[in-house]
Each structure stands twice: as structure tokens, then as C-alpha cells.
Structure 1
Amino acid sequence: MSTQQPNPPDSAGRAGTLTPLRVAQLDLAGPDGEVLSFGPALPPAASIEGGDVYALVRLRGRPVGTVVCRVPPGKCAADAVATEARALLARTGVPAEHAPGPAPASADATPASAPRTSVVVATRERADQLARALDSLLAQDHPDFEVVVVDNAPATDATRDLIAGSYADRGVRYVHEPVPGLAVAHNRGVAAADGEVVAFTDDDVVADPNWLTALTRPFATDPGLGCTTGLILPARLGTPAQILLESHGGFAKGFAPKTYDPHHPPADEPLFPFTAGSFGSGANMAFRAAALRAAGGFDPATGTGTPARGGDDLYAFVRVLTAGHRLRYCPDALVWHHHRETWRDLENQAYGYGAGLTAYLTALLVRRPALLPALLRKLPRGLAHARAITAHRDSAGAAVPGAHGAQDHPWPRRLSRLERRGMLAGPVGYVRARRKARGVRPPWEPAGRTPSEGRQP
């Protein structure tokens, strides 16, 4: 992969003046085949004619990798990116699941095989971004789905008015949740959903037209599947904060499908299932509704909008896995995420990542104390893993954006410190959030019933 080097952080640990990258996508007929299409990742961006480019590489529509390259002046951008893409595929090869041609006969790939699905989008005072996300959701090729918007602790009527004025007549349902917190909002969406599968995405994404079908089709062929996650790529890389976030790993988990089975733990992940961040992210996930409800849903004391700052998605992944269900990562299920643009946003995210990680682990131990022995056995390796993923890394010789999971990308010292500070604060934040959430139970559980957290799978 051809890469450009970042400018070094300044004395405050900032990213300096990283060069913006144009985000594109390239579709090839084969690993060394002709260019089928090339252009900006999302409209209405201007055509790409030169400069630094970050491109998703597809093979006949299926995502297989990303490249970063500089298009020389006067050279055709499609040809320059295609050269890098072919070189990448020659080095790495193409997983059988992503090779061109029809899917294996054992995998029913027709859209009709996808189960009835409810898509839940939690939002708060971001009507403009929400409209963009909803337009992409309503263009999905999934044969049977609904969209439920959960307006979380709104300060204005902007979201309600948007749905009533532009989307209600297109089948989008509006649900109000007065208690602040992403997990509470997601639980409200689960209670309102009527699908066999409940999918979740954020109000700052644009979903690929095949996203929902690719994310939910595995449920039709695997009765033991409890959760799926998908690929998240950056919609824009125009500011140093956006570039550094993607360099730190962003939200993508690579381009190879992977199934996590609690009955057959992966040999290459000794911390399984507690490194839930490797499974996927909340902007692109789906659950079998019955499995999620049986697990008690999302912990209301986790997530954005609470003192815990995050961890709601990680908690749900582990709860479903520890209940005996499988989880599958589906790179064909793609959404484009609009990363936050400012340095302050990136600082908040770094702190929130750390806090959310330890908050979700605290939530697991509080709600499932039987997991404590397993967690203690893995604690030494877990601490080493935490140090590695939060370590300060100099920019010299590193790729921007960094390769997925490579841990060789730049990460300024200030962000490293904030992430570790968040880890220390996460358990306290969870305790504070749990006190605030006392008495809040999943909306599908009647009052007076013993909360789901007390049951064993």
C-alpha cells in the first residue's frame, strides 16, 4: 500500500497539518481486472482528479480492502488508484468469500432470504445528519424492513418535525425516549421493533444500498446466531482529527468475514470474549431480537449520554456471546461514518473510548458476577493489551490512515494519556450512571418482574 506521511504533532500533541485525503471507491472486475467504476465515496462530492486519495477497493461490488495513494498531477485518478489496488490484492490475495462470481450454493444469497428487520436509529438534535442517514436507509435493497427513530431526551421538536414532515409517510416511525443515554434509547427502539432481527446504526452514517441485506441474511441460515456486525469506513478524511481517528483504527475490523463461537473460542484471541471491541461497533450491528431481549438488552448505565461515556455495544456483544449465541462479522455490510471534525471532538472520543471499555467490563461483573473468575484469569494479558492499544506512537514511518489492526499508526501522546485516563474513570462513571439509572428497566419487561440481569442463560 502506498502511503503518505503525517506531519509530526506539535508541542501540545496535536496532529499538526495532516494533508486531507479524498475518500473514493474503486470497483474492479477482478484482482487484476478492468475498472468497472471509480469516483467519490459519497455524492455530491466533486470528481477526484488528483492529490491524496483513500479508496475502498471492491471486486464486482464486494469490499475487499483499502488503499492510500497520491495521484500525480496529470495522471488519471482511476488508473493511479487501480494500480495501487491491484498491487494490494497481489500481496494479500482475495478471501474465497470475496472472490468474484456467485456465492457458494450453501449460502442462500438472494435478498428474499433476509428476515423481517427493524432498523433503530437513536438521535438527539441532529436533524440534518439524520435526514441524510434516513435517505440511505430508505434506499436499502432489503425486502422487508422498517425504520424506527428514537428521539433521545430532545431539547427541541426538530427531530419530531423532520419525521412528521418528510418521513412518516414513507414508513419511518418516531419514538420518544425522555431518559438520556444511548443504551436507554436503544432499549426503547427494541421495545418498539416488530422485526425478527433488530439492526442499529447512527444518525451520522450513510448506509450502502446492500448494507441491511448483508447484515441480516446470516440470521436466516444460522439459528444459533445472536448478533452480526459490519464494516464501517470514513465518509470524509478532511481534517487532522478525522485522519488520526481512522489511523488509530477507526471503526473498521478488516475485510475477512469471521464467526465468533463461545463454544469454540478463537485460538488467536486469548482474551475472548472480553476484547469486544474487535467484534464490531454500535454504528453497524444487528441482533436476533429474542436473544437480545432475553439477555436484558443494553445496560442503561452505559453508553453516550451517561457518565460511563460508552461501552453499551460492547456489553451487548459479550452478553449475547456468554448466553451461548454466535456473533458474525460481515464486511459486505458497509456504512460510511462521518467522523467528528475537530481536535476537541477527538480528545473527547479518546477519553470516551477508554472510559467505555472499563465501564462495560464493570457492567459485566456487576450484572454477571459469575464471569469474574474468567476475567481475573485473563487480567494480566488484558492489561498488556490495554497498554498496547492506547500507547503513544510517533508518526515517523507510520501509515496514515493506518492498516487495520496493525498498531503502527501515529497516536499523539495527549490522546494516549486521555484514553488511559478514561480507562481509570470508567468504573466510577459506570457506578454513577447506575445510580442514576436505578429503577430503569427494559421497556419490554413489565413492572414488578425480576430484571433480566439476574437470570442465567
Structure 2
Amino acid sequence: MSSTPALRPLSVAELDLDAPDGKVLALRPAPGGPALAGGDVYALVRLRGRPAATVVGTVAEGEDPAEVLAALARERLAEAGPRGDAERLAARSRSVPAGPPPRTSVVVATRERPGSLARALDSLLAQDHPDFEIVVVDNAPRTTDTRDLVTRRHTDRVRYVREDTPGLATAHNTGLAAAEGAVVAFTDDDVIADPHWLTALTEPFATDPGLGCVTGLILPARLGTPAQVLLESHGGFAKGFAPRLYDPAEPPADEPLFPFTAGSFGSGANMAFRAAALRQAGGFDPATGTGTAARGGDDLYAFVAVLAAGFRLRYTSEALVWHHHRDTWQDLRNQAYGYGAGLTAYLTATLVRSPRLLPALLTRLPRGLAYARTMTARRGETPEGGVPGEHGTQHHPWPASLSRLERRGMLYGPIGYAKARVATRQMRNPR
């Protein structure tokens, strides 16, 4: 595809209702976003503060944005029925909260992006979690910009750690080694965390000793470019609003490829691990992730490693971060290729480091390859009832060129992982 698709930008907002069919409590722009204007609007619907759905609507000149979006929200929430997520969330909001979440370390790996990091740190420092620390891992820095930001602005509340070996997984392992909390949360330098994010992400560990990982909801902070709109219209990083529990002792009936469907568990910009469980599972594979020849897959590897060690994984939409999607067409092309490469790189890493899983993978491989090909070829088709990234009735076809890039990335992934392993060994054992 030689040109960027002609897609209109959308404003991003938050709409808070007091009940699924109730009155509007608030309507505001997404964190850090501009004031709402007319035109297309993508809105997160909250029920008394708790994320419940997303809607897209067009606000004509002279219309009240709150009323337009509230009507769409009530219709969307009604589709779920009386036992839907909206009702469960509303009931949960009236329940007695669990005990305090455990002490947590928040690890943010970064490289030469002090502007976005400053924005992320501001949101992390505003968390309502009662007991946490922040560790910034400066990965293979070329300048002192990140260190200067941390030491000059946040030296009393943020710890700075330098890691000279490039690669996101290596940076995350460095953060894990430095972490003092019983739980270690990971997020990226291009997010804005909801004030309740860390509490919602870590509370489940207090009540479930067998829980090894929790992931959360990722929504777009901006939808101002065609690349951002296209990515989000096909799901983006969101995993829905229904809570999920993945238990290796009781594999989910609706995921026959479990646990090798790691992409459905969550994403690296919003994940937390029980520190002891992640360490027991061997941490992140340093030959995966951004910054290595593997191009990605470090988060997927960790999810499967923790599940394979016998721990449970939970997804909750109440733990929300707003992600700044890359804004150019070339960025989206790079992401498409990287997604494919990361998928097969993490599978390769899993087999190399846990060969006992090979029989289970082989029995699922034919079906898995067919599923992956279907997903890349028909990415634009969404389940009945919609998904968080679905833009109402709009349909933006996923370009065939991006599907081809994903498949090319899948073919490259094992090669990239092998190259990254060689590079990792050479860095550890220089001649």
C-alpha cells in the first residue's frame, strides 16, 4: 500500500454514568487531551468511575456531547443484558473492597524519550496505591537526558537504574532484580496511568496466593492520525471489559490453544507479577523484546512461563492505562511486522527454555498456524456485539499489505530469536 488510508481523526473522552441507564456524572477529555469539540468522538464509558465499555459517536454542531454519548452508552450497556459486565461492575462498586494491596514496585524501562517519560511519571506519582516505589530503567542510553530527568525532578520518589545491554526484556530483568516489592508492575514510558491503575492491578494478589500475573486494560490516549485510528479500530491493545481468570489447572474451554494464546492475556504496557512467581519462572527471556533481533514477544513469553510454572493469570479492565499509539504509517508497518515476529519468537523461546512443553505445542500447532493466518488475513472482522476498539458502525479494512507484513514477521521470528540469543551470549562472554 503506497499511501495512508483516509481516516478521520477522533476526539478521545471519558463519560461517567451513575448506572447503566442512569444520568451523566461527568464528561471530560482523555487525560492530557484537548477540550472536546464537534465531530467524531471515541469515549470510555465508566460506571461511577469503573471502566465498562467504549462507544463512538458523531456530535453535530449545536448538540450536547454528553447527551449524544450517553444515549450511545446506555444502548451499548443494555446490549450486555442484566447479567452483563455493566451490572457486575455496578454491583461490585457497592461491595466491600478487599484488603490493602501488597507493596509494589513499578518498573518503567525507557530509552531516550524524556518527554513521554516525564508525562508517564507524573501519572504514576499520582497513584492511589498505599505502598509503592517507582524504578526507571535507562536502557542503553546515548545521553544523560533520562538520568537528568529522574535525578533533578523525582530523585526523592523515583529510583534510577542504568542497564547498558539493549533490549526490553533485559531492562525488565534489571528492574525485577532491583525491585523491593512483593509485586512488580511493568508499564511503558508512552502511557498515562489512571489514578486507580496500580491499586486495581495489584489488589487481586492480596486475595489469591496462587495468582502469578495480572494484566489490565489499555486504551488510546489519542486518535488523531490515520495510523492511530486504524490500529484502534481493529482492537488496538484492548482485551475487553469482561474479567478473565486463566488457570493452568482448568484450561479455558473457549481457548483450545491455551496457554499458547498469550496475546489474549494482555500486553506489556499493563502487567504485574508476583515477584517470587516471575523469578521462579526465570524472568524475561533476554533474547526477546524490542531492542533485540527478535523484535518483540518478551511479555508473551513471561505470561506463558508463569502459567507453565503453575500460577494463575487474571485480566481486569479496572486497571487502566492510556497508551499513546505511534502516529505514522511507517510506525504501523513496523508494528505489524514486529507483532508477527514477536509471536513466533516467543514460541521459539518457550520451547528452547522449556522443552517439556513441546508435546503440548505440537498437538496445537496445526490449529494454531491456521488461527494465526486467519487473524492476520481477516483482522478487521470483530465478534458480534463489538470490542473496545471497534469504532461503532465504522469499518476500516485492515490493509492486505499489513497482513503480509505480519506473516513475514512470523516467518522471521525464530531467526530473529536465534540471532538475539547469539548476540546475548556474545555480550555476556566477550572475547
Same fold (TM over 0.5): yes
| Contact map agreement 1:60 1:100 (CA 8 A) in 2 | no
TM superposition shift of 1:109: 3.2
Matched to 1:389, the amino acid is M
| Contact map agreement 2:217 2:317 (CA 8 A) in 1 | yes
Q: Which residue of 1 aligns with 2:77?
A: 89
Q: Which residue of 1 aligns with 2:121?
A: 134
Superposed CA deviations along residues 297-333 of structure 1, whole A, max 9, x for unmatched, are 0000000000000000000000000100000001100
Aligned-partner Cα distance in 2 for 1:286–1:337 = 17
Aligned-partner Cα distance in 2 for 1:393–1:214 = 30
Q: Which residue of 1 aligns with 2:47?
A: 59
Q: How does 1:46-445 map to 2 (within 5 A)?
A: 46-93=34-81, 94-95=84-85, 96-100=87-91, 102-105=93-96, 108-109=97-98, 113-169=100-156, 171-391=157-377, 402-403=389-390, 410-438=397-425
Alpha-carbon RMSD across the aligned residues, in angstroms, is 2.0
Report the TM-score when normalising by structure 2.
Answer: 0.94
Superposed CA deviations along residues 175-214 of structure 1, whole A, max 9, x for unmatched, are 0000000000000000000000000000000000000000
TM superposition shift of 1:73: 1.4
Superposed CA deviations along residues 222-267 of structure 1, whole A, max 9, x for unmatched, are 0000000000000000001001111222111000111000000000
Superposed CA deviations along residues 55-83 of structure 1, whole A, max 9, x for unmatched, are 00000000010001111111011110001
SS in 2 for 1:390: helix
Aligned-partner Cα distance in 2 for 1:270–1:321 = 15
TM superposition shift of 1:49: 3.0
SS in 1 for 2:345: helix
Matched to 2:89, the amino acid is H
- CA gap of 1:226–1:401, structure 2 versus 1, over 3 A, is closer
| Contact map agreement 2:238 2:388 (CA 8 A) in 1 | no
- CA gap of 1:24–1:278, structure 2 versus 1, over 3 A, is same
Superposed CA deviations along residues 258-293 of structure 1, whole A, max 9, x for unmatched, are 100000000000000001000000000000000101
Question: Aligned residues, how many?
Answer: 421
Aligned-partner Cα distance in 1 for 2:177–2:335 = 29
SS in 2 for 1:151: strand
Q: Which residue of 2 aligns with 1:17?
A: 6
Aligned-partner Cα distance in 1 for 2:414–2:21 = 50
Superposed CA deviations along residues 390-412 of structure 1, whole A, max 9, x for unmatched, are 115679xx9998539x9x86210
Q: Which residue of 2 aligns with 1:444?
A: none
- CA gap of 1:440–1:367, structure 2 versus 1, over 3 A, is farther
TM superposition shift of 1:90: 1.0
Structure 1 runs not aligned, ≥5 long = 1-10, 442-446, 448-457
Q: Which residue of 2 aligns with 1:3?
A: none
Structure 2 runs not aligned, ≥5 long = none
SS in 2 for 1:184: helix
Percent of aligned pairs with the same amino acid: 70
Q: Which residue of 2 aligns with 1:453?
A: none
Q: Which residue of 1 aligns with 2:15?
A: 26
